[in-house]
Amino acid sequence: MPQDTLSITDNRTGKAYELKIENGCIRAMDLRQIKTGPEDFGLMAYDPAFLNTANCRSAITYIDGDKGILEYRGYPIEQLAEQSSHLEVSYLLMNGELPTKTQLDDFVNKITLHTYVHENIKGFMDGFRYDAHPMSMLASTVAALSSFYPEAKNVKSKDVRRVQMNRLIAKMPTLAAFSHRHSQGLPYVYPNNELSYTENFLTMVKSIGTTNWRPHKALVKALDILFILHADHEQNCSTTATRVVGSSEVDPYSAVAAGITALYGPLHGGANEAVLRMLREIGDKKNVAEFIKRVKAGDGTKLMGFGHRVYKNYDPRAKVIKKACDEVFAVTGKNPLLDIAVELERIALQDDYFVQRKLYPNVDFYSGLIYEAMGFPAEFFTLLFAIPRTVGWVTQWEEMITDNEQKISRPRQIFTGQRGRNYVAIDKR
């Protein structure tokens, strides 16, 4: 009769243990009873970079990395990308169900009400150097929001939490647009609450010298699809950072600022910027084979936009983006780097190095091409990831705060340093 247990014999002591298996996991704390003697702390699991550790239960996003499946609250990403909008998906993520028409109107209204930022934020932004990276501006200004909303510390109150979550979703496009305008030396454009979330954002970024400028509808639609694709991705690096920092019960602005800084890194959300730089460096289709050789030689060169910790198949988001490229390029003209990207993908997908390691294009491989065609500078790409990921961060943060099993995050270590040394006066060293 199969049992949902794991039998372990500790060969150091000869003792046998039976650990419960639940949801395909054993509890790491169950290992603690396995000791060599009363003085022994007990067995721990060593898992640098959390390769095989579930840190939470979550009902938000499901990924099957082998099959290339991504679902938000049970709905396949392909259906949402085709039929929904970013704010509807945000409602879905936050509440677990698709909204009725009335619920959606109410939610859109709430988000729209919060798009403005305190005027002092502009002064804060002005303090940055002209060439400041917009991601560090975004992280700092989001952290600063904590000082504008001191009530946000009350993380146990659902009502208080929800207002801050709405504020973060609403203000992120405004802050991102302001940081872009700062880096371009352009005056800030205030939100226009008569426009949709994505149209308003593009207008704050692009409009100059007129209040009538509106982005092309096809570009608004394409960007909204990209926003849907980036809305959540379960326990990735930035979401884990948000959860870990939030577990200290700090306010959500501070927790989300941690998520933004994690996203900034080139192995995470910074990869879309890195892909563009890589494509420019390759420069021509004819140089692709040579570049692939360098990657395989292991000199540290990576094929950016390829590979994923979870997906060992084509990233379903990359498939949707590849399709969206056509709609964007029909308006903007084809990005000449597309040919290089397609050739890179073609060669890599039939090369043993990539096949054996199951390295496929990820979400960042094609997104940068769209952003560039839309006229965004490369250093702005990661902000286009941060804006939509905000709903994921805040939803995961709230799930963590309301989970009775969660406590302050505090992993263990294997100590490898020296101990018990006597202090030596500086003139004796």
Where along the sequence are the contacts to ligand CMC (CB under 6 A)? 233, 236, 267-269, 271, 295, 302-309, 357, 359, 362-364
129-to-123, 132, 179, 320, 379 alpha-carbon distances in Å: 12, 5, 11, 37, 15
Question: Looking at beta carbons only, is 94 or 295 nearer to ligand CMC?
Answer: 295
Using DSSP, state whether 21 is helix, strand or coil.
coil
Residue 268 known to be catalytic? yes
Question: Looking at beta carbons only, is 246 or 305 nearer to ligand CMC?
Answer: 305
Q: How far is the CB of 360 from ligand CMC (least distance, A)?
A: 10
- Choosing from 268, 339, 351, 403, the catalytic residue is 268
Residue 182 known to be catalytic? no
Q: How far is the CB of 136 from ligand CMC (least distance, A)?
A: 18
Question: Looking at beta carbons only, is 173 or 305 nearer to ligand CMC?
Answer: 305
Question: Which letter, b or e, does each residue of 57-68 get, where b requires 16 or more Cβ atoms within 10 Å of its Cβ?
Answer: ebebbebeeeeb
Phi, psi torsion values for 374, nearest 5 degrees: -80, -5
Q: Which residue lies nearest ligand CMC, judged by its C-beta?
A: 307
- Choosing from 114, 133, 182, 308, the catalytic residue is 308
List 71's β-bridge partners, or say none. Answer: 62, 76
Q: How far is the CB of 242 from ligand CMC (least distance, A)?
A: 14
Looking at residue 49, the DSSP 8-state letter turns out to be G
Query: Starting from the edge strand earliest in sequence, which strands make up the sheet with 61-64, in order?
Result: 61-64, 69-72, 75-76
Provide the phi-psi class of 49: left if phi over 0, else alpha when psi is between -120 and 50, else beta.
Answer: left
Question: Looking at beta carbons only, is 191 or 307 nearer to ligand CMC?
Answer: 307
Question: Looking at beta carbons only, is 238 or 335 nearer to ligand CMC?
Answer: 238
As a three-state string, the secondary structure of 257-324 is HHHHHHHHCCCCCCHHHHHHHHHHHHCCHHHHHHHHHHHHHCCCCCCCCECCCCCCCCCHHHHHHHHH
Q: How far is the CB of 321 from ligand CMC (least distance, A)?
A: 12
171-to-142, 275, 385 alpha-carbon distances in Å: 9, 28, 15
Residue 180 known to be catalytic? no
Closest by CA to 12, choosing from 32, 35, 31, is: 35
Helix ranges, 23-85 (H): 77-83
Question: Looking at beta carbons only, is 118 or 302 nearer to ligand CMC?
Answer: 302
Q: How far is the CB of 293 from ligand CMC (least distance, A)?
A: 12
**Cβ atoms < 10 Å from Cβ of 31:** 16
Q: What angle do CA 412, 414, 415 make, to 5 degrees?
A: 115
Q: How far is the CB of 306 from ligand CMC (least distance, A)?
A: 4
Question: Looking at beta carbons only, is 86 or 110 nearer to ligand CMC?
Answer: 86
- Tell me the chain's radius of gyration from C-alpha atoms: 24
Q: How far is the CB of 157 from ligand CMC (least distance, A)?
A: 32
Catalytic positions are 268, 308, 364
